Amino acid sequence: MINITIPTPDVTIMKQDKPELSNIYGFTDFHLITRENGGIFMFYNDKEELLFVGKARKLRPRIKKHFEDSVSPIKNNRNEVTKIEVCIVEDPIEREIYETYIVNKYRAKYNVDKVLFN
């Protein structure tokens, strides 16, 4: 049996109720997420349910893209996201493994690729 330990998040940002600063869907702290490093990210709702897991070579631009583009799997549910956790994982193979594992172990609600459960 393979034992996979999910990395502890390096950064967690929370949605703010009435942000006074410039924000994207209530998130003002994107600057805390690295622009240069790769890793995995997880979107949660206010009930701590996992909504979506993704990976990226450059985390901040990829995460922001989920809140801005028209093809993101969460495009119709962006308001549901209240917490974003980010784990720095530089190795692309490890990112792939973590993403697939987390999607299936925690049954991420809006992931449609890499789903092995029914």
pLDDT in tens, 4-53: 999 999 999 999 988 888 889 999 999 999 999 999 999 999 999 999 99
pTM of this structure = 0.93
Nearest to 42 by CA among 7, 18, 17, 76: 7
Q: Which phi and psi angles does 50 have, rounded to 5°?
A: -75, 120
Sequence-distant (≥ 6) Cβ neighbours of residue 6 within 8 angstroms: 87, 98, 101, 102
Give residue 117's pLDDT band: very low, low, confident or very high (50, 70, 90): low
Integer Cα distance of 54 and 104 in angstroms: 13
**H or E element: which one contains 85?**
strand 83-88
